[in-house]
Structures are given as C-alpha cells and as structure tokens.
Structure 1
Amino acid sequence: MGSTVLSLRIDGELLDRLRRRAARRGMSVQDYVVQTLVRDDFDERFNAAVDETEKFYGADLPPVDPADRVT
C-alpha cells in the first residue's frame, strides 16, 4: 500500500490543540491525525458490520444496547 499527500488548511487554534494532544502521546501532529482518522474509519466499519449481522440474524439476537456501540 502506497501513501499519498493530503494537504489541509486548518485554523491556528485547532492546530495548537492538535499539537498539544499529539505531544501528550509522544506523537507528531501528522501521526496523531492519521491515527484518529484510522480509528474513526474502523468504528464506522465495525458498526456497519454489526448492523449487517443484526439484519442477517434478525430477531434471533438479543436487543443491542446503544451504549455498547463503538462511537
């Protein structure tokens, strides 16, 4: 898998917050943003898989508490 450049224009205040959060984790801003995007993408794919499983099995599954879902 190759990599591609993504250029963003963001507010200075947001960049400062990202720098602080990344620094607390010992990461660069770039690594912090990429990790956040990957995590969010995983959460969306996981929830979609849960929805598909519920559709497939129908009423045989116990009800899912929305608080148990990944957000």
Structure 2
Amino acid sequence: MGTSVLSLRIDGELLDRLRRRAAKRGMSVQDYVVRTLVRDDFDERFQAAVERTEEFYGEEGDPGVAGPRETAGEPPGDQVRPSAGIR
C-alpha cells in the first residue's frame, strides 16, 4: 500500500486546537489527523457490520423475523445482542 499527499486549507483557530490535542498525546498534527480519520472510518465500518448483523438476526421485538436459533428449533432464551452497549 502506497502513500499519497493530501493538502488541506483550514482555519488558524482549528489548527491551533489540533496542535494542542496532538501535543497532549505526544503526536504531530499530521499523525493526530490521520489517526482520527482512521478511527472514524473504523467506527463507520463497525456500525455497518452491526447493522448487517441485526438484519441477519432480526430486530429485537420483531416477531416476524426468526433468527438462526429459532429456525434451528432452539428457544430464543437470554442472549446478548450484537449491538449491546454500542449506541
């Protein structure tokens, strides 16, 4: 995987805030921004995966959708939903 250059024009006040936040973490502004973008991208992909999982198992309280356990003849019982504690 190669690297590319991204040039941004940002407000001086925003740059100052980014510098302070990066300094608190012992990072350069560039590293801080890249890390923030990567984290945001991960959060979006993770949320999409959670939504796909919920579609597969059916929304909680949706009696018309049977998850894999119900179709296998097992009672639903108490189970932890994939999105527990995410929202």
TM-score (norm 2): 0.70
Percent of aligned positions with the same letter in both sequences?
Answer: 75
Structure 1 stretches (4+) deviating beyond 3 angstroms?
A: 59-62
Alpha-carbon distance between aligned partners in 1 of 2:58 and 2:22, rounded to the nearest angstrom: 42
User: Root-mean-square deviation (CA), in Å?
Assistant: 2.0
Alpha-carbon distance between aligned partners in 2 of 1:7 and 1:69, rounded to the nearest angstrom: 34
Gap regions ≥5 residues in structure 1: none
Q: Shift of the alpha carbon at 1:3?
A: 0.6
* Structure with the bigger percentage of helix: 1
Q: What is residue 54 of structure 2 aligned with on the other side?
A: 54
Q: Shift of the alpha carbon at 1:24?
A: 0.6
Alignment of 1:6-21 (within 5 A): 6-21=6-21
* Residues 25-54 of structure 1, C-alpha deviations (whole Å, 9 max, x = no match): 000000000000000000000000000000
Q: Which has the larger radius of gyration?
A: 2
Q: What is residue 69 of structure 1 aligned with on the other side?
A: 86
Q: What is residue 29 of structure 1 aligned with on the other side?
A: 29
Greater relative CO, 1 or 2 (CA 8 Å, sep 6+): 1
Gap regions ≥5 residues in structure 2: 60-66, 68-78
TM-score (norm 1): 0.85
SS in 1 for 2:58: helix
